[in-house]
Amino acid sequence: MTPAAEEIALSAFRHRVDYADAAGRDRWTVRAVNAWVQAALPPLLAAAPPQAAVLDAGCAEQPFRALVEAHGRRYVGMDVVQNRSHSVDLLGPLEEVAAPAEPYGVVLCTEVLEHVKNIDAAFAGLRRVTATGGAVVTTVPFVFPLHMEPYDYRRLTLHGMQQLAADHGFVVETADRLGRLPEVLAMLVSDASILPVSRSVVAKAKVAALRFAAASMVRLLDSSALSRGVAINSNCYLTNGVVLRAV
């Protein structure tokens, strides 16, 4: 695919404009990412130099712009293609970004790193744009269905994030597993598309039964009453929430 064709393909994807509660398979990751960013970002903004801008790398429709600006910070959006509101300031891939004259004290990079072609080059790009002592607030999926195909290249663990950080001039300041097993299961069931393979009454009845079972399971898994007073331990979770410190 030529660069021009790839730009057209990337521009065709529609991204969320905010992280308000979502519907469908995205809802659990959206909730987890939103809650974590809302908690992790403000203290870092407060601690950064007052005049320092905040870079949102892979900003798309800029769902966290309002949060940054609500804390009195100048917001700079960066992405590979222009968004619908034409508010992306810097166009280009993270892997190729040049070092700015004034590196950023805080960089935001949410649900982006699974889509970069070269993860090492992307981490090197993050380090170039981040001031020494500055912070990168990043989330990247661990369990999530394929999306934005064919531009979905990887899933990372917290251990993978730790290694990439060490290789590219960062230390991990905080690392959190976002989303519990019931949410992972609810997301996976919600992703299922249950369709008949024929027009027979039997096939349609099976589909109806399976759809009912899936919807019931999602409601049960999404109920806080299910896990209240219960410890559910699992190595499966939705997304990594990591704050990197540039050294």
What confidence score (pLDDT) does residue 108 get?
A: 98
Please indicate, yes or no, whether residues 25 and 143 belong to a single structural domain of this protein.
yes
Q: Is 80 exceeded by the pLDDT of residue 1?
A: no
Please indicate, yes or no, whether residues 186 and 174 belong to a single structural domain of this protein.
no
The closest alpha carbon to 240, from 179, 164, 167, 173, belongs to 179
Instruction: Please report which confidence band the pLDDT of residue 241 belongs to, taking 50, 70 and 90 as the band edges.
Output: very high
**pLDDT tens digit string along 48-104?**
988 889 999 999 999 999 999 999 999 999 999 999 999 999 999 999 999 999 999
Mean pLDDT of the chain: 94
Please indicate, yes or no, whether residues 207 and 120 belong to a single structural domain of this protein.
no
Our CA angle for 113, 117, 119, nearest 5°, is 55
Which CATH number fits the domain that encloses residue 13? 3.40.50.150
Please indicate, yes or no, whether residues 150 and 191 belong to a single structural domain of this protein.
no
Q: Is 80 exceeded by the pLDDT of residue 3?
A: no
Instruction: Please report which confidence band the pLDDT of residue 11 belongs to, taking 50, 70 and 90 as the band edges.
Output: confident
The closest alpha carbon to 64, from 113, 126, 137, 162, belongs to 137
Q: Is 90 exceeded by the pLDDT of residue 244?
A: yes
Number of structural domains found in the chain: 2
**pLDDT tens digit string along 178-211?**
999 999 999 999 999 999 999 999 999 999 999 9
Please indicate, yes or no, whether residues 156 and 190 belong to a single structural domain of this protein.
no
**What's the pTM value of the predicted model, to 2 decimals?**
0.93
Please indicate, yes or no, whether residues 112 and 194 belong to a single structural domain of this protein.
no
Please indicate, yes or no, whether residues 82 and 190 belong to a single structural domain of this protein.
no
Please indicate, yes or no, whether residues 192 and 237 belong to a single structural domain of this protein.
no
Please indicate, yes or no, whether residues 76 and 135 belong to a single structural domain of this protein.
yes
Least confident of 126-140, 188-202, 222-236: 222-236
Please indicate, yes or no, whether residues 67 and 139 belong to a single structural domain of this protein.
yes
**pLDDT tens digit string along 102-113?**
999 999 999 999
What confidence score (pLDDT) does residue 51 get?
A: 83
Please indicate, yes or no, whether residues 102 and 199 belong to a single structural domain of this protein.
no
Tell the burial category of 128 from Cβ atoms under 10 Å away from its Cβ (0-12, 13-18, 19+).
middle
Please indicate, yes or no, whether residues 150 and 200 belong to a single structural domain of this protein.
no
Range of the domain at 87: 3-180+233-246
**pLDDT tens digit string along 156-185?**
999 999 999 999 999 999 999 999 999 999
